[in-house]
């Protein structure tokens, strides 16, 4: 290894260590930290962020990158890819003042605490000042970069490299009428029965069952763990320490199972990255949309499939015999896929889920443009819920306060969930061509070949390939919603006899 490459990897490794240390503090903030620790935790995160920023944007790093671009010009090599991704990250980081990094870390820590309190009391006014500050900081962040076709492009690009606001709007614009048409057709059919899902289920038994499922998927509890948090998430501290969190909802007790599958999908991606990429710019998934394709695949295309429940349902029925008495596996499968407009995004069915995302995208664009003010969000949110889904949230907790993302200042994120759905269907068609008996394997509770296919074709590459390039390699085309429409039409056509 050249001396300059070794030096660059040393610096990036140290920056990575600082980032992962901050991730441990953030994980603890949501899982174990007492509410009184918020102020100090904010300062700790700000300090780590400042040190990491200063270390990464040093002139030495820029000089090393310029020299190494010439030394390793081939982007297909690991070294060339690492230098390309590092250079892009460096250019972005150099534009953002260290003082801003500190301010944003402090603001988000305050906002997270305010969001937790606001949601628990279903009172948006508690969260409003912190959110106004976060939106102000997001606009300031955008101002550090050259003007784009749309100011939202800068934020979207942080999560989905190469994707433009216009690209997402075009994809969603083509997809929305097809999903609305499907939902309308379903609404005219007899609704499936699901009253047994609203019964009381023992929390510990549900939690334990969720861990049985993800263990079978291949989540390694010697390299991870599942803890409780207000909003489920996955976080990575190293390729050998990838954790998930979950929650139990009394009114939707089995949602815990699907949340576990979702976060497990994220975790399997991170656990499958080439270990040689540890502490480099390649050591994570390539984008949030590709990441979401993995979580949504395991949650929906696997976890909400009939073969999946033909395997797991007998044990679930034995565990909850009184709640599921007289309920067949086919009936349970249909109930798990019931299409009905609902308030909470993470619990939404596949046919309506993307409408939740489109609503949020419109709001985020409005916040960034300045056409929407934070003070008006509850009213705007409810109006868009009526427009998109025909229902009105009865309170803030079931409406504008349901997601944690804005408390982090993570504006630009939401569209990747719907893009992930689209990508998951494209990948699923490719997988089924390569693994002809995949349904039968799932029916037997065998997930190893699927997991290995994903590791070989997607996970191992980490951030080596940009998302659209990876899609070309894996499925032979860029992100396209056709496969997703085919998947929904076939699935719900069978369930609702369309």
Q: Which residue has the tokens 């300062």?
A: 43
Residues in the chain: 498
- Region of 96 (left: φ > 0; alpha: ψ -120 to 50; beta: rest) is beta
Closest to 453 in 3D by CA, of 469, 438, 463: 438
What is the torsional sign of CA 198, 414, 290, 426?
A: positive
Helices (H), 144-164: 151-159
DSSP 241-273: EEEEEE---TTSTTHHHHHHHHHHHHHHHHHTS
Q: Which of 210, 457, 194 is nearest to 323 (CA)?
A: 194
Nearest 5°: phi and psi at 321?
A: -65, -40
* Long-range CB contact pairs, 204-209, < 8 A, 24+: 205/319, 205/320, 206/248, 206/253, 206/254, 206/256, 206/257, 207/246, 207/248, 207/256, 209/257, 209/315, 209/316, 209/319
Cβ atoms within 10 Å of 450's Cβ, excluding its own: 23
- Kindly state the greatest CA–CA separation across the chain: 70
63/83 Cα distance (integer angstroms): 12
Q: Specify which residues 228 forms β-bridges with.
A: 246
Which are the catalytic amino acids? 263
- On the 0-12 / 13-18 / 19+ scale of CB atoms within 10 A, 74 is exposed
Looking only at the bridges linking them, the beta strands covering 226-228 and 234-238 are: unpaired
193: left (phi over 0), alpha (psi -120 to 50) or beta: beta
């Amino acid at each position: 290894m050249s001396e300059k490459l070794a030096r660059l990897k040393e610096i990036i490794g140290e920056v990575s260590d600082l980032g992962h240390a901050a991730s441990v503090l953030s994980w603890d903030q949501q899982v174990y930290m007492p509410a009184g620790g918020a102020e100090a935790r904010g300062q700790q995160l700000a300090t780590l962020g400042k040190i990491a920023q200063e270390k990464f944007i040093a002139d030495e790093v820029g000089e090393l990158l310029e020299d190494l671009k010439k030394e390793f010009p081939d982007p297909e090599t690991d070294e060339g890819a690492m230098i390309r991704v590092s250079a892009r990250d460096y250019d972005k980081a150099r534009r953002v003042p260290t003082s801003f990094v500190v301010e944003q870390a402090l603001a988000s820590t305050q906002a997270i605490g305010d969001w937790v309190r606001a949601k628990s009391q279903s009172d948006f006014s508690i969260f409003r000042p912190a959110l106004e500050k976060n939106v102000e900081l997001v606009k300031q962040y955008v101002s550090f970069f050259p003007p784009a076709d749309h100011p939202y492009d800068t934020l979207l690009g942080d999560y989905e490299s190469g994707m433009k606001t216009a690209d997402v709007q075009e994809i969603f614009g083509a997809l929305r009428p097809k999903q609305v048409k499907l939902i309308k057709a379903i609404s005219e059919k007899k609704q499936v029965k699901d009253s047994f899902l609203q019964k009381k289920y023992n929390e510990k038994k549900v939690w334990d069952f969720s861990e049985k499922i993800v263990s079978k998927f291949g989540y390694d509890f010697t390299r991870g763990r599942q803890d409780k948090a207000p909003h489920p998430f996955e976080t990575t501290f190293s390729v050998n320490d990838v954790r998930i969190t979950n929650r139990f909802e009394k009114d939707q007790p089995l949602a815990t199972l699907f949340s576990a599958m979702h976060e497990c999908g994220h975790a399997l991606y991170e656990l499958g990255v080439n270990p040689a990429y540890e502490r480099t710019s390649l050591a994570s998934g390539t984008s949030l949309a590709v990441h979401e394709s993995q979580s949504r695949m395991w949650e929906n295309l696997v976890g909400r499939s009939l073969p999946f429940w033909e395997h797991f349902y007998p044990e679930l029925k034995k565990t909850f015999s009184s709640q599921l008495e007289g309920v067949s596996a086919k009936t349970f499968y249909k109930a798990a896929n019931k299409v009905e407009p609902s308030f909470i995004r993470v619990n939404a069915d596949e046919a309506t889920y993307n409408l939740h995302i489109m609503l949020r995208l419109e709001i985020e664009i409005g916040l960034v443009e300045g056409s929407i003010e934070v003070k008006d969000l509850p009213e705007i949110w409810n109006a868009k819920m009526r427009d998109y889904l025909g229902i009105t949230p009865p309170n803030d907790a079931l409406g504008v306060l349901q997601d944690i993302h804005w408390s982090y200042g993570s504006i630009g994120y939401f569209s990747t969930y719907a893009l992930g759905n689209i990508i998951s269907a494209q990948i699923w068609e490719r997988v089924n061509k390569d693994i002809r008996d995949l349904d039968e394997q799932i029916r037997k509770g065998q997930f190893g070949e699927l997991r290995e296919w994903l590791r070989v074709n997607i996970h191992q590459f980490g951030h080596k390939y940009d998302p659209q390039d990876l899609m070309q390699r894996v499925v032979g085309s860029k992100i396209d919603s056709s496969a997703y429409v085919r998947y929904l039409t076939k699935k719900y056509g069978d369930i609702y006899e369309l």
